[in-house]
Structure 1
Amino acid sequence: MPRLIHFALLMALCTSAVAQEGDSPWSGDAELGFVASEGNTDAKSITANGSLIWEEGNWKNDSQMQTLNTESEGVRSAERYFVSNRLAYTISPHNYLFNYIAWEDDRFSGYKYRATIAFGYGRRIIEQPDMLWDAEIGPGYRKAEELSETGGATEEDGILRAASNFRWKISPTATFEQKLSVDHGAENTVSKSTTSIKTTVKGGVALKVSYMVHYTDNVPQDKVHADKQTTVTMVYSF
């Protein structure tokens, strides 16, 4: 699992470097933990995730990285890599414009890769000291290639992307978060739901439990529509 280890070390180094700056526009999380998957991937694995946020003035940039890689007796049973970047510009106290780019490689879903780009309008529906809710919508484009030894079919589709992010600070040490996204196109629709709760253990260290459902309407032959993933990770926030 060398790539997973390299990723975890890279996230730790980036986290340390940013945290030392103090009063920085940078913040984020570095996660390492256990995951149980059902669907196209049935495995128990180690996962490493990271988020890096830069916010200054009217601008906010949010980068997300996720990786899952499992081998058992020399046979790889799970391999997933996901990277996204979302840039937003606030045009008024509760309204913003956004640009979203994502790339996913999940060999056990039947796709060699899936790339998405979208842009549009977002609005902060709720803004309270203990609760935030953002929703956004806009047009985009998606390209995906099916996995095949002889060269898989390529899907290209104009999409309408809708997304929601709800965060509720239940107590001084516990935070609930619900993320939803739907990329709807004429050829295919891909939906993703992630529900999580994070509890602070001490300082910047927390325990996080999350449940993700990734649903694809049209899938390659012999693949299921829904991938489900339950994850327990230790999180270092800065």
Structure 2
Amino acid sequence: MRHYSFLLLFATGPAFALVPPDYKEPTTDFTAELELGLQYNSGNTESSSFNSRGRLIYDMENARHDTTLRGYFASDNETTSAEQYQVQYQLDYKLEGTRYVFGRADMLWDRFGSYVQQHIASVGYGYNPVDRKHTKWTLEGGVGYRYNEANLSNTEDPDQNATDDEAIVRIASKLEHRLQEYTSFNADATIETGSLNTVANLNLSYRNQLWADLALKIGMDIKYTDVIPEGTEHTDVISTVNLLYTFR
């Protein structure tokens, strides 16, 4: 019996040495979202529209990576009426409590917008004044640089510059609120202002979980540009109804 006890102790000893009782797995969180909306009409009206969005979040103990890709397209049997693509990336370095510093890049291509290209790079500071189970509110402030290429297809002024760049101040607010167990509401507001122009964005979305990781999402993106080229509009609005699938 003594020999068996000795062998058992010898066999289990290395396991305790390799995996201590208080060992914990590293805290990492990986989330991906994919949403898609399609519409096609035939008969008296020939038209189609397409919009998609992908988001990838990698939330580690000391840093958080957030990447978003968006695309919008609409056309009828003769012309294309909307074509827009956007790439966003933000890296947050977490500080003590709910504070963090961030670096951010935002690139937009919009064939029919007041500006066909807008590229923004910014850095700043953020924190969460409200961080609860059902409600999370985030505030951010920072500085950056913006490059613009104006849409001059409707102007007759040959001396108007197509491109400009400027330093900007960026202020943002993000609200995530769970209304019920299967429904949630998000609101993101951003103002980016410089000496040449001011751009404000408001993104609203309502999500209803249908089954497991599949949800119905209703969204509205509103963009206001203060200074615009001749023949373009100050406000752009995109409304979407999409199916959204979450990978965890």
- Give your verdict on TM over 0.5: yes
Deviation per CA, 1:160-211, whole angstroms, max 9, x where unpaired? 0011110011111001110011111110011100111101000100000112
Quick one: higher RCO (CA 8 Å, sep 6+), 1 or 2? 1
User: How high is the sequence identity, in percent, across the aligned residues?
Assistant: 27
- State the shift of 1:112 in Å: 2.6
Amino acid in the other structure paired with 1:231: T
Give the SS at the match of 1:47. strand
Asked whether 1:81 is paired with 2:81, we answer: no
Asked whether 1:176 is paired with 2:185, we answer: yes
Give the equivalent residue in structure 1 for 2:3: none
- State the shift of 1:24 in Å: 6.4
Q: 1:77 to 1:219 in 2, by over 3 A?
A: same
- State the shift of 1:117 in Å: 0.5
Amino acid in the other structure paired with 1:121: Y
Q: 1:106 to 1:28 in 2, by over 3 A?
A: same
- State the shift of 1:145 in Å: 1.0
Q: 1:91 to 1:126 in 2, by over 3 A?
A: same
Asked whether 1:214 is paired with 2:218, we answer: no
Contact 1:34–1:231 under 8 Å retained in 2: no
Asked whether 1:113 is paired with 2:117, we answer: yes
- State the shift of 1:148 in Å: 4.3
Matches of 1:75 and 1:139 in 2, distance apart?
39
Give the equivalent residue in structure 2 for 1:52: 56
Amino acid in the other structure paired with 2:139: A
Q: Detail structure 1 runs of 4+ shifted over 2 Å in the superposition.
A: 147-152
Contact 1:65–1:83 under 8 Å retained in 2: yes
Asked whether 1:137 is paired with 2:136, we answer: no
Q: 1:215 to 1:34 in 2, by over 3 A?
A: farther
Give the equivalent residue in structure 2 for 1:30: 34
Give the equivalent residue in structure 2 for 1:190: 199
Deviation per CA, 1:143-172, whole angstroms, max 9, x where unpaired? 011234789521111000011110011111
Matches of 1:51 and 1:134 in 2, distance apart?
19
Asked whether 1:167 is paired with 2:176, we answer: yes
Amino acid in the other structure paired with 1:192: N
Give the SS at the match of 2:146. strand
Matches of 1:54 and 1:167 in 2, distance apart?
18
Q: How many matched pairs?
A: 209
Gaps of 5+ in 1: 1-22, 36-42
Matches of 1:207 and 1:168 in 2, distance apart?
16
- State the shift of 1:217 in Å: 0.3
Amino acid in the other structure paired with 1:136: E
Contact 1:117–1:141 under 8 Å retained in 2: yes
Matches of 1:134 and 1:44 in 2, distance apart?
37
- State the shift of 1:34 in Å: 4.8
- State the shift of 1:44 in Å: 6.8
Flag the structure with higher strand content. Answer: 1
Normalised by the length of structure 1, the TM-score is 0.83
Q: 1:55 to 1:46 in 2, by over 3 A?
A: same
Give the SS at the match of 2:112. helix
Matches of 1:71 and 1:103 in 2, distance apart?
23
**RMSD of Structure 2 on Structure 1 (CA):** 1.9
Give the equivalent residue in structure 1 for 2:107: 103
Amino acid in the other structure paired with 2:70: Q
- State the shift of 1:74 in Å: 4.3
